[in-house]
Structures are given as structure tokens and as C-alpha cells.
Amino acid sequence: MPQKVAFITGGNRGLGFQTALDLKSPETKVIIGSRDLKQGEDALAKLRTAGVDADVIKFDMTNLSDHKAAYDYFNSKYDRLDILINNAGIAGGKFPGNGPEHSASDVPLDLLHKVFETNFFSQVALTKSLLPLIKKSPAGRIVNLSSILGSLTLNADPNSFIYNYKTFAYSASKAALNDFTVHLAYELRDTNIKVNSAHPGWVKTDMGGDQAPMEIGEGGKTSAELATLPVDGPTGGFFHLGQPLPW
């Protein structure tokens, strides 16, 4: 039985896959969730070749039956979950592009619903489903993959470097996810569970694009650090590579 069991949603590619690589440890079993099981199995083969003790389950963040299946998997196989990394997410359009993805006044409501369903509502639902198993862990860790674009403080500051990168649906969904982090961390403040939001950086992924300044090898570090925080580590915070970010 591994000392730590980790679940990474959207772990078959991009930041999720890199985070799985960064969690490589003789003590940690990494389970990646993949909407396409074939793609997940291909990613699993690469992880195992790299020396990661890993498995894959078919998992669609927006499918509530998959949430139940994930609970049943971890409950029957490990009777607990030590690390949950809510990594899966969508941009909803250009990201971040050279200007607005769309203005706040003309955002298509169906797009707003779609982005929030993946980036917020489904994240909350999955965390609620798996929380009973995380409470069984001696050191539970929940990492919500956010973005600096979800910072209300920086979005409102004309001197901020993100001021002109307005992607309303995406940014609003990440701001909501950050608020979930704050509230859940408060609820669990007297437990051994730590809940934090991670900004991975602007990384060269399918979402980030080739113009991003950070390589994929750097992109998983923040999530992996927050997933393996020591007992005296922070909770209820928003971080990038160990540095706190403004909400």
C-alpha cells in the first residue's frame, strides 16, 4: 500500500501530465484521470517509463457519474485519498491572446455556463464527493489549479502586467474557484487537510500557446509543491512557485 495516493484530473497531457511527473516518488501512487481512456493509457505508458508509479482511470470532470466512479475506485482500492489536484479546465476561447477574449458585456451566456461548469461547478462537486476519503488521509492536500488571471486585485490594477489580458469567462471562473479555496480551507482549518490555489504560470501548453514564456517542465512545480506541503505548510492561500499571489 503506497504511503500517498494522488489523483490528478486531466492528467493525461499538459500541466496535469507534468504534475504527475513531478510527483514521482517511491512513496506515491499517482492516478491520472483522462476523458479519453486511450490517450490516458498512452500517457500512463510514458509515466511508467519515466519511473512514476501510476495508473489511469477514465474521467470526465463534467460527468457526475464519473465522480461517483472515482470515489468507488479510491474507496475500494485504497480506502482513502491523500492528494486531489483539480487540474482539468478549459479556456473558452483565445488564451490569453492580444486583447479581450470577449468583453464582459457581450460574453455569450452559453459559453459562460460551459466554462463555469468545467472550471468551477464540477471542481466543487468532485471535491465534495471525494472529501470523505481525503478526511481519512493523515495529511490530506487539495490543490485547485487556478490562474493569475483570476486575481481580482491584479485585474483591477492599471499598473498590473495582466491588466490588458481580459478573458472574462475564464478569469471569473478562476476567481470563483479561488473563493472556494478560501471557504473550504476555513471549513477544514482544524483538520490535517490543506487547501490551496495554484497559479502554474503562463506555460507552453495547448491552452497557453507557443508565445508563453514558461516551459512545460516548470508548469507542474507549483501544484506538486502544494500537493506535498509539510505539516507546517500554508492553507487557504494562492501561490506561484512558493510565492503568495493577491486574490
Query: 4-244: which CATH number, 3.40.50.720, 3.40.30.110, 3.40.462.10, 3.30.420.10?
Result: 3.40.50.720
pLDDT at 202: 63
Q: Give the model's pLDDT for residue 144.
A: 98
pLDDT digits (tens, 9 = 90+) for 180-228: 999 999 999 999 999 999 998 665 455 555 565 456 567 789 999 999 9
Is residue 100 over pLDDT 70?
no
* DSSP helix, strand, coil percent of the chain (3-state; round to 5): 40, 15, 45
pLDDT in tens, 126-135: 999 999 999 9
Of 91-95, 153-157, 171-175, the range with the lowest mean pLDDT is 91-95
Q: How confident is the model at residue 98 (pLDDT cuts 50, 70, 90)?
A: very low
Q: Which of 30, 29, 4 is nearest to 138 (CA)?
A: 4
- CB 113: neighbour CB atoms within 10 A? 12
52-75: pLDDT as tens digits: 999 999 999 999 999 999 999 999
Mean pLDDT of 10-20: 93
Backbone angles phi, psi at 196, to 5 degrees: -140, 155
**Helical spans, DSSP H, in the chain:** 14-22, 37-49, 64-77, 109-116, 122-134, 152-155, 168-187, 216-219, 221-227
| pLDDT score of 106 | 87
- pTM score over 0.75: yes
Q: Which amino acid is at 204?
A: K
Q: What is the mean pLDDT of the chain?
A: 91
pLDDT at 11 over 80: yes
Residue type, 184: L
Q: Is the pLDDT of residue 148 over 70?
A: yes
DSSP class of residue 149?
Answer: G
Q: Tell me the pLDDT band of 93, cut-offs 50, 70 and 90.
A: low
Q: CA nearest 7: which of 123, 86, 79, 62? A: 86
Query: Between 151 and 215, whose confidence is greater?
Result: 151
Banded model confidence at residue 239, pLDDT cuts 50, 70, 90? very high
